[in-house]
Structure 1
Amino acid sequence: MQAAALLSLLQFASPALPIGAYSYSQGLEAAMEAGLVHDAATARAWIACQLHDVVVQWDAPVCWRLMHAFERRDSGAVAAWSERYLASRDTAELRAESLQMGYSLARLVAELGIADDAIAAMLPPDAATTLPVAYACAVAALAIPPEEALLAMLFAWAENQVLVCVKSIPLGQVAGQRLLLSLRGDIEAAARYAQQVDDGGMGNWAPALSLLSMRHETQFGRLYRS
């Protein structure tokens, strides 16, 4: 991996990227309210379950396909997977989360001027740009290898989940780092699976998460937006 691509990846996968990832829990706060997550062991079980049963079954393979579609300059594939991903957001919170961060990242890409006209033209309208689409656009624009970009995307997702646990269970900082370290094997396996699964093997069936996400919409005293 070239140094320039590595530095770009570190920047665009960083939690410091100003797109608001820190403000979302993706149903985890509702799981804490329900008592499903309350210590380090249950936090790890929740994150690993969401990674293998939700993220790697749909979000990661879609992102993988979008990165290659942008790399090939295949606007038809970008539009098709963008539409499918947006349709898969089955609660108001999950839909708003992906659209808000997608819009923010797309605006950042535009303001930094890193994408050429051909790549930028493949982005959907602002109101329909989800996070995986904007991320894939940035990856192609910065010539970041898709394999490394996928790993970074999965790690960033896991890191954000761990940070929610550190702040809200709460876990200590060392316990949070121990938890994140213990997920390395899961993240590597998830990345391999996402690259190999065919279209027919992908799915977004996660009714328990959807119910928790809907419950979170009216949760009293919540800290996170989803």
Structure 2
Amino acid sequence: MSTIAELMRVLQFGDSLLPVGAFSFSNGLESAVQFGVVHDLATLRDFVRSSVEQAATSDGVAVLSAFRAAQLGDAQGIDLADHAVFERKLNEEMRTMTTRMGRKLAEMSERVLGPEASAINGWLARIRAGATPGCMPVAQALVFLALGLSERDAFAVHQYGVASMMANASLRLMRIHYLDVQSILFEVNADAGAAYDRVAAHSLEDMAAFAPAFDVLASLHVGSFVRMFMN
């Protein structure tokens, strides 16, 4: 951070209350609670940490790839990152989550940032035309570039968003103290710098997330009769 204004931009666009619909999703936590995979503070901590680690090597790589493509004015590279995220979501609910939030963030940025955000406005036009899906990690990359912030900032906010979405959902799904949830966030966020260092040199071909338990839980959620979240 070189200025107070830049810090404020990170806080604004990294806020868990940003109006992009994150409150509607649990990132798989609801099914994990329903089926007993997550049932106390320790299992919640493990589930959130695992999710964030998986996010770093998959969607986090796309954040960096899209950011760098946008720096070069490479619209095709941006869309390649977008498709890479979408194609690695194995179930409909996860695809709905990432595209709904991505499009909402792009629309918000079009309104807030105006014509100066040329890369994200062009990307939004391609989303509306059906040329690219519009996934959240790509939206975050383009917004942070438009704000004059770094790829590290974009990656950090992406990782924080994954953890905070699940932390906020846990308060509605479990009997858990809200300060314990903040402790989990504090612990998990401490690993973000090391995660960035691990994936900074990765390309889209290196994107990977082996999480069969998450995928099974997500598939079970689709058929759930009673549910609070959209995934």
The TM-score with structure 1 as length reference comes to 0.92
1:99·1:131 contact (CA, 8 Å) conserved in 2? yes
Output the CA distance in 2 between the equivalents of 1:122 and 1:100: 14
Written as runs of structure 1 = structure 2, the 5 A alignment for 1:43-54 is 43-52=44-53, 54=54
Written as runs of structure 1 = structure 2, the 5 A alignment for 1:108-123 is 108-116=108-116, 118-119=118-119, 120-123=121-124
Point out 4+ residue stretches in structure 1 off by more than 3 angstroms: 196-201
Structure 1 residue 117 displacement after superposition: 6.3
Match of 2:16 in 1: 15
- Greater Cα shift, 190-199 or 76-85: 190-199
Question: What do the CA deviations read for 1:182-201 (whole angstroms, capped 9, x no partner)?
Answer: 21333332222231334443
Structure 1 residue 42 displacement after superposition: 0.4
From 215, 224, 230, the counterpart of 1:219: 224
2:59·2:207 contact (CA, 8 Å) conserved in 1? no
Mapped pair 1:103 → 2:108: no
Output the CA distance in 1 between the equivalents of 2:118 and 2:180: 45
Written as runs of structure 1 = structure 2, the 5 A alignment for 1:122-201 is 122-123=123-124, 124-126=126-128, 128-201=133-206
- Structure 1: 5+ residue runs without aligned partners? none
Instruction: Specify whether residues 161 and 115 from structure 1 end up closer, same or farther in structure 2 by C-alpha distance, changes over 3 A only.
Output: farther
How well do the aligned residues superpose, as a CA RMSD in angstroms?
1.8
Instruction: Specify whether residues 184 and 75 from structure 1 end up closer, same or farther in structure 2 by C-alpha distance, changes over 3 A only.
Output: same
Q: Counterpart of 2:4 in structure 1: which amino acid? A: A
Match of 1:94 in 2: 94
Instruction: Specify whether residues 117 and 14 from structure 1 end up closer, same or farther in structure 2 by C-alpha distance, changes over 3 A only.
Output: closer
2:66·2:141 contact (CA, 8 Å) conserved in 1? yes
Instruction: Specify whether residues 47 and 8 from structure 1 end up closer, same or farther in structure 2 by C-alpha distance, changes over 3 A only.
Output: same
From 191, 195, 205, the counterpart of 2:210: 205
